[in-house]
Chain A
Amino acid sequence: MAARVVLSQALRQLAISPKTFTVSSKYTTNMLLKAGGGSLSFARSFSKPSDEVSSEPNTESDPTLVVDQKDASKMRNRVIPVEISMKYLKSKGYSTTYGSEPVWVKYRRNFKGQFAPDTRKTCIRQEKLSTGNPCPICRDEYLILDYRNVELLKQFISPFNGAILPTKKTGLCQTKQRELLVAITKAKDYGLIAFDVPIREYDYSDYRS
C-alpha cells in the first residue's frame, strides 16, 4: 500500500493521471532496478522511489505496453542474469525480506479445508503474474533457478535426508518445481552441490589377475 501511495504522489508531481500511463519495457526496467530492489518489487527496501519516471512515451522501436500502475509489479518479461540473482541473495534487501530462513518458509497458501491440493500449474501467464498470492519463486523476480545459483537451490533440499522438498511443503507452482529439479540435477552433475553417493561394493575375484 505504501508503495502505491508514494508512486501516485510522484506521478501527481509530474502531472500525470495516477490511474494509467503508457510505459515501455525500458521504463519498467528503470523503475524496478534503480529503486535499488525497488519500491515496486516484492523485496522491499526502504529507498525512495526514483525521480526518473518520465512523462514522455518512448519513441524507440520497443513496443509500448499499456500497463496499469498496479500491474507494473506483475510484469515478468525481463530476463535477469544469474549473477544478479546470486548477488541479490547476499544483499541487504534479501536479508531484510527473508532473514536467514529459506524463501518458502513464510509463504502461506490459500485454500479451503484442512488438506492442501496440489499447487497450481503456473503463476505466470503471458509474461505477467496471473494470480494473487504467487509462489515463493514467482513472486520475487530476482530469485532465478539456475544450476549456478547454489545458495538458492540448497534451500529446497532437505537437510535431513537430502531429498528435494515436495511442492506441498514449499508451495512452488509446477513449472517452477520442474525448473528446480532441472537446476538441481544439473548442479549435481557439475559437482556444485555435493551429496552422499550409494556405497558400491566390490568382488575382488573379478579384478585379481
Chain B
Amino acid sequence: MATRAVMFTIGKFRCFPILKSGVAKFTTSSNLLSTATFDPGYTRDPSEVFFKENVQALLDRLTGRDYEKVFQNRKLGQRLEPPKYELLTQAEVDQVMAEMAAKLKRKLQMPPLLKEREPVTKILSEDPELQGFDNCKYVFINISQGINDRKREVVVRDPNGVLRDASWEERQRMCQIYFPVPGRQIYMPKMFEETHLQDCLEKGQYEFVLDRACAQFEPDDPDYIRVTRKTYNCVDENNKFSTLRSTRHFGPMVLHLVLCKRMDNLLFHFITSKDVKAAVDLVRLFHLIWSDPSYSELDEFQLIENYIQGPAVKKPALELAWQTFLEIEKQRLEALSLSQQNTASN
C-alpha cells in the first residue's frame, strides 16, 4: 500500500549554530553556487562612474517620478489601517508635499553598481601545533552592537591550525544569524539558481527579482552581479523598460546598458514614447561615460542625431523612429501655430 509522505514541523526557519562550550561550530558546507558562465558585458569598474554627481543627477532624472507607483501599498503582512483625511491650509499642504518629495527620494535610492569583490585572503596566524583539534572549523564573531557588518570581525580557525579572516560567504552567514536583515535568508533562495531565475524572468517578475536580490546580497557579491545583470539584459531584450521606470532599479539598469553599449533599445523606447528629454539625458550620459563631456553642450536634437549617425548600433530602426518623431513634431507645431493665429485673429 502506498504510504503518505512524512510530514515535518517547520519550527523556526533559521539555522542556529550548535553551541559547544560557548563557541559556534560549523561543518564545512558550500553556500556558494558555481556562477554559470555568462557574458559580463564589460570589464570596466562601474563604481568609478556610478558615484559621480553628474551621473547620479542624470540617472535620477531618467528614473522619473511616478508618485502613484512609488507609494504603492506594499504587502508586508502589516496590520492594515483605514486612510486618514485631514483638512490643511495651503502652507501645510506645501510642507507635506516637501516631506513626501524627500520620502520619495529615499525610496528611489539606487542600489550601487560595483565590480565583484576580491576574495578574502588575510591570515592572522598559523599554528600547526593545533592541527586536527577537531574535524570542523570554528567560526568566531564579534557580536558587539553598533558595528557595521562589513567591518565586523569574523575569524575562522581551520582544522589545519590556520587562523584567518572569514570569507565573504561565512561573514554574511554569521552576521545574518546574529544580526538578521529583514528579507534576507541565511541560505541563498533557490529562486536565484539559473533554471528558477530564468522561469521568474520569463514570467516578467523583474522588480520582484531585483528587490529580492537587493535584500539578499551585498552589491559587490558575485551572485548579486550575476542576477542583476541577467535581469537587466532580459528587460533590454524584451523591451519592458516601463515596468522598471520610476523604481530604484531603473538607474543602475540604464548605467549597465550604457557601459555595455547596448542602450539602443532604450533610446528607441524613449523616442517612440515621445520622451525627448529622457532621450537627450540618455545620450548625454553616454557621452559622459564613453567620450569627453564637451559633447553635452550641443543642442538637444543635434545630440540625438549625432548619436544615431555615430555610435548607434541599431541605426535603421533608430533613424526611422527619429524621422517619424520629427514629422509628428512638425505637424504638431504647425497645428499649434495655426490655432494661435486663429485665436489672435478672433
Contact = CB atoms under 8 A, between A and B. Distances in A.
Interface of A: 25, 62-63, 77-79, 127, 158, 160-163, 175, 178-179, 181-182, 185, 188-191, 194-202, 204, 206-209
Contact of A202 (B189, B205, B219): B219
Contacts of B5: 79
Nearest to B110: A202
Nearest to B212: A197
A197 B1 CA distance: 44
Contacts of A63: 1
Contact of A196 (B3, B74, B80): B74
8 contacts: A25-B1, A79-B2, A181-B10, A189-B189, A191-B191, A191-B208, A202-B219, A207-B112
B109 A202 contact: yes
Contacts of B107: 199
Nearest to A77: B1
Interface string B161-197: 0000000000000000000011101000111000011
B272 interface: no
A204 B112 contact: yes
DSSP class of A's interface residues: helix, strand, loop or mixed?
A: loop
B74 A62 contact: no
A196 B75 contact: yes
Nearest to A189: B189
A191 B196 contact: yes
Given A162-B76, A191-B196, A208-B51, A198 B1 contact: no
B150 interface: yes
B222 interface: no
Contact of B3 (A79, A161, A175): A79
Given A25-B1, A207-B114, A207-B220, A196 B47 contact: no
DSSP class of B's interface residues: helix, strand, loop or mixed?
A: loop
Q: How large is the interface on B (under 10, 10 to 19, 20 to 34, 35 or more residues)?
A: 35 or more
Given A162-B75, A178-B9, A178-B10, A202 B112 contact: yes
A204 B110 CA distance: 10
B76 A198 contact: yes
B84 interface: no
A179 B10 CA distance: 9
A191 B10 contact: no
Contacts of B191: 189-191
A179 B76 contact: no
Contact of B205 (A77, A127, A191): A191
Contacts of A204: 51, 112
B78 A191 contact: no
A185 B13 contact: yes
B190 A189 contact: yes
B77 interface: yes
